[in-house]
Amino acid sequence: MKTRIGVLASGGGSNMQAIMRSIDAGEINGEIVVVISDVPGAGALAKAENAGIPTRVMRPREYSGRDAYSAALAAELKSHNVGLVVMAGFMRIVTTPLINAFPNRIMNIHPALIPAFCGAGFYGHYVHEAVLDYGARVSGCTVHFVEEAVDAGPIIIQRAVPVLDDDTPEALAARILKEEHIAYPEAVRLYCAGMLGIEGRRVVVKG
Ligand code: GRF
């Protein structure tokens, strides 16, 4: 039984594409059945359409608030019988109505090593600027389950990269993005293989 995956994306969708490639290579026992974006014209939508995957644009301003928006996302995902929600470069905060509809079945990727450089305001280039300003010697990416608090759910996979003396935020972001494209497909593979368990805050890989 393949896991039905719903993707939420706001940008180019390179993480989604890495997962699509891994599915096409037969590595993941799942299929992406819908891609939803808050941004009309997002690159992720074009990538999905080119692959014949149904897409939806759902704009937060069309809803009365974060909870109404999250409830609408949940309803749309449920209408496609989604089992796993993959947030891949999704720039919106999701709240209880979505999180409770998919308990421990929503993943997100953050371009830093949680619990460092994460939480409100830490997204995109702001993350990498903060890493460089702080003088950290390593950074990386984190795939985690989504909970109410931003970037705070149980950690599934992390991959680290060195921070170089002459790094710019863009150079660091690009080095991390390569690792994201390894980490995210692996996290989805493990989930779809039924190999992820959760014990308190810890994710355990079974089998
Ligand atoms: C990535 O850096 C990811 O960590 C963050 O969004 C960025 C863009 O992702 N969440 P994508 O290329 O749209 O998948």
pLDDT at 127 over 90: yes
Tokens matching residue 155: 């950690």
| Backbone φ, ψ for residue 159 (5° rounding) | -135, 135
- Among the listed residues 115, 126, 122, 119, the one whose alpha carbon sits nearest the alpha carbon of residue 172: 126
CB-ligand 1 contact for 70 (6 Å cutoff): no
Q: Are 161 and 179 a contacting pair, CB within 8 Å?
A: yes
CB-ligand 1 contact for 169 (6 Å cutoff): no
Ligand 1 centre from 101 Cα, in Å? 24
Last residue of a domain, one of 53, 88, 103: 103
Question: Would you name the residues annotated as active-site residues?
Answer: 110
Count of C-beta atoms within a 10 Å radius of residue 169: 17
27/90 same-domain check = yes
Strands 55-57 and 30-37: parallel
Residue minimizing CA distance to atom 2 of ligand 1: 111
Tokens matching residue 151: 């970037």
88/176 same-domain check = no
Counting residues of the chain whose pLDDT is more than 70, the rounded percentage is 100
14/73 same-domain check = yes
Residue minimizing CA distance to atom 5 of ligand 1: 89
Q: What is the pLDDT, as a whole number, of residue 207?
A: 84
Strands 202-205 and 196-199: antiparallel
Query: Rounded to whole angstroms, how far apart are CA atoms 94 and 84?
Result: 15
Mind listing the pLDDT tens digit for each residue in 63-109? 999 999 999 999 999 999 999 999 999 999 999 999 999 999 999 99
Instruction: Quote the domain boundaries for residue 31.
Output: 1-103
CB-ligand 1 contact for 140 (6 Å cutoff): no
Last residue of a domain, one of 51, 80, 103: 103
Q: Report the domain count for the chain.
A: 2
pLDDT at 48 over 90: yes
Q: Are 121 and 97 a contacting pair, CB within 8 Å?
A: no
